[in-house]
């Protein structure tokens, strides 16, 4: 599972815009969040913790490139036994 570049760029642009419009990050200040550079990017969620949790509660699979580890799609089912059953 690998994030696609388009959605990654889009969310970064959205966060940059939000940080520039509101909050303490719009000011030209030296902060460790900005690597002590007044005009550097802020790499934190531009909203509340509850908003962050709600946004990422369910994955948006269209934002990812998905690849299978095995050629057979249903190979994850294994041999019909659990690890506990095999140990006995």
According to DSSP, the residues that pair with 2 across neighbouring strands are 65
With cut-offs at 50, 70 and 90, classify the pLDDT of residue 88.
low
What is 24-62 written as a DSSP string? GGGS----GGGTT-TT----S-SS-HHHHHHHTSS--GG
Q: CB-based contacts of 55: which residues, under 8 Å, 6+ apart?
A: 47
The model's pTM is 0.64
Backbone φ, ψ for residue 3 (5° rounding): -65, 140
pLDDT of residue 4: 96
pLDDT digits (tens, 9 = 90+) for 22-79: 767 777 777 777 777 777 777 788 889 999 999 999 989 999 998 877 777 787 788 8
pLDDT of residue 41: 78
- Residue 18 burial (C-beta neighbours within 10 Å; 0-12, 13-18, 19+): middle
């Amino acid at each position: 599972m690998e994030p696609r570049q388009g959605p990654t760029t889009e969310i970064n642009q959205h966060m940059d815009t939000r940080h520039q419009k509101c909050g303490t990050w719009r000011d030209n200040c030296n902060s460790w969040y900005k690597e002590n550079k007044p005009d550097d990017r802020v790499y934190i969620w531009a909203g509340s913790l509850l908003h962050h949790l709600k946004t990422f509660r369910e994955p948006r699979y269209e934002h990812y490139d998905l690849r299978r580890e095995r050629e057979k799609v249903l190979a994850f089912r294994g041999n019909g036994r659990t690890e506990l059953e095999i140990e006995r």
